[in-house]
Structure 1
Amino acid sequence: MHIKTLRNLGATLDMTSGRVKNNKIAEELRIRGNKAFTLNEDPSTVAEFYTGSIAFALPASQQLSFGYANRSAVLFNAQNYKDCLLDIERSFVAGYPDNLKAKLYARKVRCLIALKKSKTEIQRALEETKRALIDMDSKAPGRVLVEKTLKDKDHLAPELIQGFPKKPKAFKPVIKDETCDISGATGVTIKYSKKYGRHIVATRDIEPGEIIATTEIYAKGRSQHKRYRECAQCAKRTMAGLPCDHCPNVVYCSFTCRDKAWAEYHETECPILGILYDLEIPTSTLLGIRVTLRALHEAGGVFGLRMMLKKLDSNS
């Protein structure tokens, strides 16, 4: 039934969503992550629970600090020591309790040793661990490991050697053709005809398998089940996603991607994204919304976008 008809009948639309920051949901997801961690499930699966917890946790809350702390353990076991260190620091910033900090400082020491950091940096972390141990309960779980780290610091390196093979660098072809009127392309140009509309045609013979164009992703449409595994901005897979400060619906691989997304489109989509998910709006439609929002941002508004489109049409 049409929305206008529903309104005439006195019906109302509930424009609220359950997909908002919520420490209770954050705790539930973190507990599920703890169970999966105890059962030695796949690290990516465990990290996804913790990332969900981090996404739902209120900013600067103790629940957020717990999420980062727990995820740092998964990252450590996966030998992702750099991201582990970042999560440890994020946990401290969010207000991780003093009586539990020794465990994280000990983990930090092990990360620094594995990454072959300077003796000065490692010694500083050891001193932090010693000071934090004073606040730790004598019977607290994990105290034995902390004391072992302090005692055996000179013998930890062999067991912390990064055993996972390094991923090969992604091949990124570079195309520089100043004679081509399409940026990032070669051997092609844009034409217009009544039959095909605006289309691309070759300007020279193109060899089989030849790369004729490269382009950056303009906007990424991401299915819901991947929202805590991939960066919402660049689509990079990540086990250490950073949350939006205002909604639990997206994570990012870096502050750079988070800030860029907020400036280009997420500030506008953020209040309604949870509702769109609740309504099960198709991924393709969500992508269309994001493309439109980014285009509006780049054009400086609706009027600017209209002018850009008119200019494109006049050049056809």
Structure 2
Amino acid sequence: MFNSQIHTLNRSLINLRIEGCENKDNSDGLSLEKELVHTTINQYYFFLEHNPIQPIKKCAQESMNLSEQGNVMYISKNHNANQHQQIWNYYTRSVAAAPNDSQELALAYSNRSALLYHLREFDECIKDCDKGFKLNPPDPLKAELLLRKVECLIAMERNTAKNVCQNALNLCKGYTLSHEIERKCINKLQYFLDNNLQIPYKKKKTENHKTKPAITFERSQEAPCASSALAIKYSSKWGRHIVAARRIDPGEVLVLEPSYFTSVSMWGNYMFCSHCTKQTWASVPCKSCVFNVYCSDKCKSEAWKKYHQYECNVLAYLYNLNFYNYPFLSQCEPENSHMLVRSLAATIKLMLIAINEVGGIDNIRQELIDIEKNKDPRTKGFFNGVFDSQKCRSIYSLTTILDNVADETLGIFTVLVSIAIHLLATKSPFFGKKIKTTPKLIMNNPDVKFIGGLLLKTTLLLPNNNLKYFVHRESTILGQKFGSALYPICSLFNHSCDPNVISVPTKENERIVYSKFTIEEGEQLFLCYVGDNYTSCSKEERAETIWSAYKFQCECRACQENWSQSLPFVKDILRKSPELKISLGTKYKYIEKLKGTIVNQLQGNNFEYDPKMISNLQKLMKEHETYLTRRSMDYETFERFIYMMIVNAFGTWLNINDSC
């Protein structure tokens, strides 16, 4: 159906890439991106005009349906952690879908508060009880919410429990209640008062809130979030990259970098704050869309002010986009279409955050002009000699995939950006007011054309530069992806299948990077883009993944020499090489004794973060490097111990009761 349109547009985009934009002003570095979007809209306006998208709106019936699905699971017995998570997800989606100030919203809060009481998240339960009560629901629901709040206060042994219980009883006596509800609520409240507020309940396992030692290191003057042990370099082969400015010990923290932007995945969309990414049991929904929830009114207000007021209505249309109505997009598989829309939404958010940071379209244009003026590839994006992770200048100095992306993929990206720009112009107040004109004429507005180019650049920037954000469960140290984030300094680390640094996302929306091996002065630092290292998958699988995602061939030693995925234990190495064991003499016994002492201490304190313990591990790892080998299961285990300590102390954890 769309073959001719695809061919025509594809030919136009290819010609633009080949011929460039020699006669166009490229002071902002966006001449090609702007022309790609302009050309797409010019050839594509018919489809934008004749395929109107219906926005996804808050809906009372949808909220009720989601609540009912949660109820079906909730009334079953013996839930596990996954079932608790699913019920929580249904109830939070019900909250997000419910119309503002509606009875459906009050019911959704009530349902979720019941689950939170069931999970013994009493503080969070009270929040939902209060929010539901403020919506003035029918008397029976008010009574249940008051009772549940009192039960929470008693369970937490709060001093206010008695007064709240008495007030709740007085209110309930004035409500119109059925005999069943009256017996359940009024009689129970009276019972609490008569029996000195005693209530049987299973105590929630208390969390360890022991103050964690702060991560400290001498800061780099050029990159304040990085250690002075690192230096930013440039070469034609490696581009910008990171090298050691001095000898670095294994286990040494080298970067503590806040993310410039974080996007929560659909999997985590209703479990984590859309703004700060904090886990939020009793989330607050956006008043306009069904997609964003927040940990607090403060985060909700901050997000609205910085970017969500512009993206909110656009998301309502984008998430209902029918790919089959458009050339290029019609070729995408359904599962890919959801991923592409999610990526586009993240791109829009990133761009809006950058524009808000500098104070408007004119200022972001000037930032790009300043970036282009700097002809030194090493210091591109620097300001006053500093590469600042919290400045959009650093973000937009990063490399994009424009030169390497396939023509078909570029076509998909450009079409999606064209749709997004049309929606930003016509469905949001981003350009001052909603623009009422045809898609073709929209591009006559210089700001719209500039933002179209900027959005395409941002779309092409994210794939190579974002890092996965992991959440950990109590049952496993292995992380589950719940989003992605952008860290400018971390983006400068090149790839190796045998990396010498490891990165860990934290619950504070930061990234910790630490050394895995001893790194000599002048040596380049590498992260692994495909799992932990070369043991994660075969050379062929790694090569396929790297080429598919990043369009380069890895030349690390692990690939060149096709290292085995299996790592030997030191005892097996010594068994095969008795002369090595003899040459070690008493050193091997010393190393084994040191290992036993450290392992016992770590297991004794449940791998609690301790700088002294990390120092001991560093000593053990250096002994292994010097006298044995760093490529063993033993050494990998020592590095994993450091990882576990860092994750336990600073990682994001999703702790949901695994039993009722």
TM-score (norm 1): 0.87
Q: Residue 166 in 1 paired to residue 182 in 2?
A: no
Q: Indicate the residue corresponding to 2:163 in structure 1.
A: 124
Q: Residue 140 in 1 paired to residue 177 in 2?
A: no
Q: Indicate the residue corresponding to 2:260 in structure 1.
A: 218
Deviation at 1:141, TM superposition (A): 4.1
Deviation at 1:46, TM superposition (A): 1.4
Deviation at 1:299, TM superposition (A): 1.3
Higher relative contact order (CA 8 A, sep 6+): 2
Q: Indicate the residue corresponding to 1:188 in structure 2.
A: 230
Q: Residue 101 in 1 paired to residue 101 in 2?
A: no
Structure 2 gaps of 5+ residues are 1-5, 10-40, 322-337, 381-660
Correspondences of 1:241-260 after superposition (within 5 Å): 241-260=283-302
Equivalent-residue separation in structure 2 for 1:137 and 1:11 (angstroms):
55
Matched AA of 1:109: V
Q: Residue 150 in 1 paired to residue 190 in 2?
A: yes
Deviation at 1:75, TM superposition (A): 0.4
Q: Indicate the residue corresponding to 1:50 in structure 2.
A: 91
Equivalent-residue separation in structure 1 for 2:151 and 2:221 (angstroms):
53
- What are the Cα deviations for residues 57-79 of structure 1, in whole angstroms up to 9, with x where unaligned? 11111111111111111101100
Match of 1:228 among 246, 250, 270: 270
Matched AA of 1:123: K
Contact 1:103 1:142 in 2 (8 A): no
Deviation at 1:212, TM superposition (A): 0.7
Q: Indicate the residue corresponding to 1:36 in structure 2.
A: 73
Q: Residue 67 in 1 paired to residue 108 in 2?
A: yes
Equivalent-residue separation in structure 2 for 1:145 and 1:90 (angstroms):
19
Q: Number of residues paired by the alignment?
A: 313
Q: Residue 291 in 1 paired to residue 350 in 2?
A: yes
Q: Name the larger-Rg structure.
A: 2
Equivalent-residue separation in structure 2 for 1:209 and 1:305 (angstroms):
39
Equivalent-residue separation in structure 1 for 2:109 and 2:231 (angstroms):
50
- What are the Cα deviations for residues 98-149 of structure 1, in whole angstroms up to 9, with x where unaligned? 343222111111111122211xx21221122212322142423473254124
Contact 1:21 1:57 in 2 (8 A): yes
Matched AA of 1:106: L
Give the CA RMSD over aligned residues. 2.7
Equivalent-residue separation in structure 1 for 2:240 and 2:371 (angstroms):
10
Equivalent-residue separation in structure 2 for 1:30 and 1:148 (angstroms):
26
Q: Indicate the residue corresponding to 2:443 in structure 1.
A: none
Alignment identity in percent? 29
Change (3 A) 1:285 1:6: closer
Equivalent-residue separation in structure 2 for 1:188 and 1:157 (angstroms):
59
Matched AA of 1:222: V
Structure 1 gaps of 5+ residues are none
Deviation at 1:85, TM superposition (A): 0.6
Matched AA of 2:74: F
Deviation at 1:171, TM superposition (A): 6.2
Equivalent-residue separation in structure 2 for 1:170 and 1:267 (angstroms):
37
Contact 1:189 1:203 in 2 (8 A): yes
